[in-house]
A and B are shown apart, each in its own frame.
Chain A
Amino acid sequence: MPADVAPTDAQVLAQPSPFAAFASAFRENRGATIGLCVLVLIVLAAIFADLIAPHAPSEQFREFVRAKPVWAGGTSAFPLGTDGDGRDTLSRLIFGARISLFIGVSVMAFAFVIGVALGLLAAMAGSLVDVVVTRLMDVIMATPSLVLAVVIVAILGPSLTNTIVAVTLVGLPRYVRVARAAALGELTKDYVTAARVAGVRPLRLALSTVLPNCLAPLIVQAALGVSDAILEAAGLGFLGLGAQPPTPEWGAMLADAREFIRSDPWIVTLPGLAILISVVAINLTGDGLRDALDPKMRRG
């Protein structure tokens, strides 16, 4: 080997930064890359909905009620056709992305913060607190997700905000359990004992010593939690217990379209396809995250 291409000691010893290792593992995963690209497109559509959407989501074109999509002989003014009230389906789908992603991300954020706090609390406080938290999570998990969400909405009344509250509560146990299990594992390790001996206070110990080392499985849960939240919220919308009309929420759009199942199948097909594509994209990204964050799963 010629001397000029031999790696220097520094190059040999340098580990790739954690982020670089993660990014290269993620890129290797073709599915995850596709999922992330689709997800980015959906996010962009949601952010710039006002600029992209050809029409306002609730604007009714009375002379174009249930117009066919372009490929079925419709007009290019409504590329994906219109619904039963003459509203442009494409515009409603784009604005719907904003609502679904908003629900998915806010549910994830709330459930993550509350769930991780409860999980750390249960792991570190132990005894009675641990028992109470664990039992409560058992109850939430014993109640079928949608049934629980439906009951909460029955108590609070159907609305977008209450959908978020209900789905957050339903999604809580996964974060609590993962955080608790990971924290219990970390708490037995020497560095935590060292920090304790050094006199680190419990709150600081939890947040800056233990939590960073529990993050990898939590991030994976969070990614998959977004897609579950979107499905859950769409299910509530479909039952008429989620976002209320005329909000262009995908599940509610589907429920509205049910009466046209015989005459105009595309009105039914498109909102569901939007849900499916988003959920698949997020799940692919989440799987990629899991494989990339868990070195044991990395292809070596």
Chain B
Amino acid sequence: MLIYLARRVALTIPTFLALMFATFVAIRLVPGDPVEVRMGERGVSPERLAMLCHQLGLDQPVWRQFLDYVGQIARGDFGVSLATQQKVLTEFFTLFPATLELSFFAIAFAVVIGVPAGVVAAVRRGGVFDQTLMTISLFGYSMPIFWWGLVLIMLFSVTLGVAPVSGRIDLINYSFDQPTGFMLVDAALSDQPGAVWDAARHLILPAVVLGTVPLGVIARMTRSSMLEVLAEDYVRTARAKGLSPFRVVGVHALRNALLPVVTVIGLSVSGLMAGAVLTENIFSWPGVGSWLIQSIFRRDYPALQGGVLLISTVVILVNLAVDLLYGLINPRIRHAR
């Protein structure tokens, strides 16, 4: 197990290096000279220009610049945002809890509905429920979520008036410290009556929108994985022993059917972050997704560079965690190769 763990962790290191190299190259391809950006349009004396280049390390050979860049990142220095003059790392971690909260509830929504629905569809294969669910799930994973968000806003906010349109909480009626950055938790800690309910109302539409594509994928995956397991000999044995159908399906089959589903959930993190960019944009959700898009429109390249690197790091780490978890649940993986 330790060897598997070490192997898997070691494999992410070259990916990290390649990722740093990619962001390093990308930022150099961006139009606009970094010195000129700092100095503005006015002319600069050649001496001043040379000094600035030296300050920014641009007079060093490229390989040297790359090593410096890797060194900075290793020390946790992701640069300073041009727009806010704050450290990119600080800014990222201020906004990341909002994205995390949104993603967590999106996945929870997808799992809580998708897994049971997939199981029932597999048990009643070919029935009305199965066909309906498969159609819904097809529409789910084909959904342009930016449009879906607008449709839900039209339905629930404009027409029915039951859900707020944007933000994480009603800032006019509620104000409290945010020690954790997770609005639901902070609202609960604040002792302001109704704050939790208000935070939940703000969360529900974005979470449903972001969870729609994973819901479709998870329901489909659970169904096909369950169908495969239900055909196995040990399920037949369990049935022959006279166990109740609920026990056969819910315990014996589901445990094994969930393995691929766990992997799919892990692999959906990358897609979830991509979806968060759109969802946060629609609902003015103050997370890292909307921050990245703002950085582009503000031409805040240090923030963009650091932000992309950090988001990708999160994705790599989650995938690593899922792989390790999978190795833990499934001994066959651990011992392979």
Chain A residues in the interface with B (C-beta under 8 A): 31, 131, 135-136, 138-139, 141-148, 150-151, 153-155, 157, 227, 231, 234-235, 238-241, 251, 254, 258, 261-262, 265, 268-269, 271-273, 275-276, 279-280, 283-284
Contacts and interface: CB of A to CB of B under 8 A. Distances in A.
B28 to A, nearest CB: 10
Contact of B292 (A142, A150, A240): A150
A143 B144 contact: no
Nearest to A241: B296
A143 B312 contact: yes
Contacts of B148: 272
Interface string B1-32: 00000000000001100110010001001110
Contacts of B194: none
12 contacts: A135-B18, A143-B19, A144-B271, A144-B311, A154-B304, A235-B144, A239-B277, A268-B150, A275-B147, A276-B142, A279-B143, A280-B138
B138 A283 contact: yes
Given A143-B315, A145-B270, A265-B154, A151 B308 contact: yes
Q: Is the interface of B mostly helix, strand, loop or mixed?
A: helix
Interface in B277-298: 277-278, 281, 292-293, 296-297
Given A135-B18, A143-B312, A144-B277, A283 B144 contact: no
A148 B277 CA distance: 11
B194 to A, nearest CB: 26
Contacts of A241: 296
Contacts of B316: 142
B142 A144 contact: no
A135 B30 CA distance: 23
Given A239-B278, A276-B144, A154 B30 contact: yes
Question: Counting chain A CB atoms within 10 Å of each CB, which of B15, B143, B146, B270 scores highest?
Answer: B146
Question: Which of B15, B31, B273 counts the most A-chain CB atoms under 10 A from its CB?
Answer: B15
A200 to B, nearest CB: 31
B18 A138 contact: yes
B153 interface: yes
Contact of B315 (A142, A146, A235): A142
Given A135-B15, A139-B22, A154-B30, A261 B139 contact: no
B274 A144 contact: yes
A282 B235 CA distance: 36
The SS class assigned to the A binding surface is helix
A136 B36 CA distance: 32
Given A139-B312, A147-B292, A283-B141, A272 B150 contact: yes
A268 B154 contact: yes
A142 B138 contact: no
Contacts of A154: 30, 296, 304
Interface in B48-86: none
Contacts of B315: 142-144
Nearest to A148: B308
A155 B275 CA distance: 21
Given A261-B150, A272-B151, A142 B142 contact: no
B270 A141 contact: yes
Contacts of B281: 239
Identify the 8 closest CB pairs spanning chains A and B, nearest first: A272-B147, A144-B273, A144-B274, A146-B274, A279-B142, A275-B144, A280-B142, A142-B312
A240 B293 CA distance: 10
Interface string B187-224: 00000000000000000000000000000000000000
